[in-house]
């Protein structure tokens, strides 16, 4: 999911127009400056593309399109109703979004997903670097934060979601599968 | 490539490097401003005795760091003739 320097300028312009905050304006300038340096080193003209969409496949959400640092389309939106429905079934899903001022184009991307149950606490974690799921072993001190609270340890092995669910105990796996409506 | 073209290319890269260094400084400064504002906001409704004083001190320190960071960005731009 890379953008050309012309697309990076478009991305920066959209960010600049959308968000007047000093942070967003400074981040837009940073993206433009990185694009300009790349073009200068490659001896390319400074151009602005008409489109800067970034499309990627994310777990649970499907195809996600971001433009100018904002999500503009989701194949399967995770709505407030989904949050209420999963919590009612004793499952919590937490989304961790990148909020790093120096991240540039990567600002606002999904970096981790945590899934846990009311009875067992943190159980699964997806992370962007491996683009795979890890099984979490909680010490049980997760409190009210079932998805990622307290102390836990992630297994080294990385799985698809289906394989990761198979590593959990049957009751937890069945509960998460039912709550997330995962097709087996 | 002629010598003139090479000089123009080198100059464009030099300016771009300076602009990038200054832009990175300004992003840091904006983030420090945001943190200073957050400390100031927390100072207005402290949740334990002494937190307001602590937060105002932190806000002043982080705000001063933001000023230094911005001044560094200004210096980089001035030295590069931007």
What's the pLDDT tens digit per position in B30-42? 999 999 999 999 9
Q: State what percent of residues in chain A have pLDDT above 90.
A: 85
- A40 with B27: Cβ contact below 8 A: no
Out of A61-70, A96-105, B68-77, give the one with best mean pLDDT: B68-77
Encoding tokens for residue A56? 């990627």
Q: State what percent of residues in chain A have pLDDT above 70.
A: 98
- A26 with B27: Cβ contact below 8 A: yes
Within 8 A of B22 by CB-CB distance, chain A residues are: 33
Q: Which residues pair with A54 in a beta bridge?
A: A66
Within 8 A of B32 by CB-CB distance, chain A residues are: none
Write out the H or E segment, with its range, that includes residue B59: helix B51-80
Within 8 A of A26 by CB-CB distance, chain B residues are: 23, 26-27, 29-30
List, for residues A61-92, the tens digit of each pLDDT value: 999 999 988 889 999 999 999 999 999 999 99
In the prediction, which pLDDT does A182 show?
61
In the prediction, which pLDDT does B76 show?
97
Sketch the domain layout of chain B as residue ranges: 3-80
Q: Which residues contact A92 (CB under 8 A, 6 or more apart)?
A: A86, A115, A116, A117, A118, A145, A146, A147
**Span B19-46, average pLDDT:** 97
d(CA A37, CA A31): 10
Within 8 A of B24 by CB-CB distance, chain A residues are: 30, 33, 102
d(CA B24, CA A33): 9
- A33 with B19: Cβ contact below 8 A: yes
Please provide the average confidence, as pLDDT, over all residues in chain A: 93
Encoding tokens for residue A149? 């609270």
Q: Taking an 8 Å Cβ-Cβ cutoff, which residues of chain B contact chain A? A: 9, 12-13, 15-17, 19-20, 22-24, 26-31, 33-34
- Give, as one character, the DSSP assignment of residue A106: G
Chain B nearest C-alpha distance from A104 (Å): 10
Work out how many CB contacts closer than 8 A connect A with B.
Answer: 55
Write out the H or E segment, with its range, that includes residue A71: strand A70-74
Residues A157 and A128 sit within 8 Å (Cβ to Cβ): no
Encoding tokens for residue B12? 């464009």
DSSP-assigned states of every residue in A108-121: T-EEEEEEEETTTE
In the prediction, which pLDDT does A1 show?
66
Q: State what percent of residues in chain B have pLDDT above 70.
A: 100
**Span B57-61, average pLDDT:** 98
**Span A42-51, average pLDDT:** 95
CA quadruple A43, A49, A53, A56: dihedral sign: negative
């Amino acid at each position: 999911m890379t953008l050309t320097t012309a697309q990076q300028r478009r991305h920066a312009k959209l960010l600049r127009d959308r968000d007047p905050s000093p942070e967003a304006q400074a981040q837009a300038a940073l993206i433009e400056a990185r694009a300009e340096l790349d073009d200068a080193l490659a001896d390319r003209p400074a151009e602005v593309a008409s489109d800067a969409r970034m499309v990627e496949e994310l777990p649970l959400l499907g195809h996600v399109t971001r433009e100018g640092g904002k999500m503009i389309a989701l194949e399967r939106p995770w709505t407030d109703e989904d949050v209420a429905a999963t919590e009612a079934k004793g499952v919590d899903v937490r989304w961790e979004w990148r909020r790093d001022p120096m991240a540039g184009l990567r600002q606002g991307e999904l970096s981790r997903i945590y899934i846990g149950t009311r009875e067992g606490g943190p159980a699964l974690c997806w992370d962007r670097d491996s683009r795979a799921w890890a099984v979490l072993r909680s010490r049980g001190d997760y409190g009210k934060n079932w998805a990622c609270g307290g102390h836990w340890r992630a297994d080294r092995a990385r799985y698809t979601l289906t394989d990761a669910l198979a590593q959990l105990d049957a009751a937890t796996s069945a509960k998460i599968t039912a709550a997330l409506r995962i097709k087996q | 490539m002629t010598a003139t073209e090479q000089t123009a290319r080198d100059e464009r890269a030099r300016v771009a490097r300076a602009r990038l260094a200054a832009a990175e400084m300004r992003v840091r400064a904006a983030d420090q401003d945001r943190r200073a504002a957050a400390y100031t906001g927390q100072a207005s409704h402290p949740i334990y005795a002494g937190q307001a004083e602590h937060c105002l001190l932190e806000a002043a320190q982080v705000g001063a760091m933001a000023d230094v960071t911005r001044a560094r960005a200004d210096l980089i731009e001035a030295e590069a003739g931007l």
